Amino acid sequence: MFWLLLVVLTLALAPGCAKKPATGGNEEQPVVTNVSDKDVSGVDQSGMSGSGVTDRTGQDAGLQAASAALNRIHFAFDQFSLSGEARRTLTANADYLRANPGIKVKIEGHCDERGSDEYNLALGERRAQATKDYLASLGISSSRLMTISYGEEKPLDPASNEAAWAKNRRAEFSPAR
């Protein structure tokens, strides 16, 4: 009787120990903002330079325009070399950055889900660095460019097929002042 009770109790409690499924990396990442001449309301206290105009969300209108103007590039599987199409896109991005010298850019390297987390973080960093190096070769100051790798953590398309993986192998641009 004791053994039967022990087995029933064990079976009743075992499902509570099940591993929770992974969420697929859709968690919100914290946003880090440097506050220098701006107060928390988003109003530029350094003067009316025109660059401090904000919309109702507090985002600088100039940064919104830069975000729309800077196009992402894509990479081949397990590669960080730039294709001809990527070079043409980066040339257009460099033209925009030359015309807007107050814009700094965070270059984000991304990968598809295949490979280990460590490998994909390293590959994403190589992709971001190759992108930065090419922009620097086009005359954009390296001090305006910073890199970060998200590896496979921020997919554009969460599906597990070749079309989705091709979208996820990319470098993106986040403008800043």
Q: Which residue has the higher pLDDT, 26 or 90?
A: 90
Q: How many domains does the chain have?
A: 1
Average pLDDT over residues 140-158: 96
Domain assignment present for residue 32? The answer is no
Residue 46: inside a domain: no
The torsion angle over the Cα atoms of residues 8, 10, 12 and 13, rounded to 10 degrees, is 160
Residues in the chain: 177
**80, part of any domain:** yes
More confident residue, 58 or 128: 128
Asked, for residue 132, whether it belongs to a domain, the answer is yes
pLDDT of residue 93: 96
Residue 154 amino acid letter: K
Q: What is the pLDDT of residue 101?
A: 94
Q: What is the CATH number of the domain that holds 133?
A: 3.30.1330.60
118 near 126, Cβ under 8 Å? no
Q: Tell me, what's the pLDDT at 11?
A: 64
Mean pLDDT across the chain: 80
Residue 45 lies in a domain: no
- Output the pLDDT for position 28: 46
Domain enclosing residue 171, as ranges: 60-177
Residue type, 128: A
- The answer to whether residue 146 is domain-embedded is yes
Residues contacting 60, CB < 8 A, separation 6+: 51, 52, 53, 54, 177
Measured between alpha carbons, how far is 32 from 143 in angstroms, rounded to an integer?
Answer: 19
Residue pair 107/131 in contact by the 8 Å Cβ criterion: yes
Burial class (CB in 10 A: 0-12, 13-18, 19+), 11: exposed
Q: Which pTM does this prediction carry?
A: 0.66
Has residue 3 been placed in a domain?
no
Indicate whether 10 belongs to any domain: no
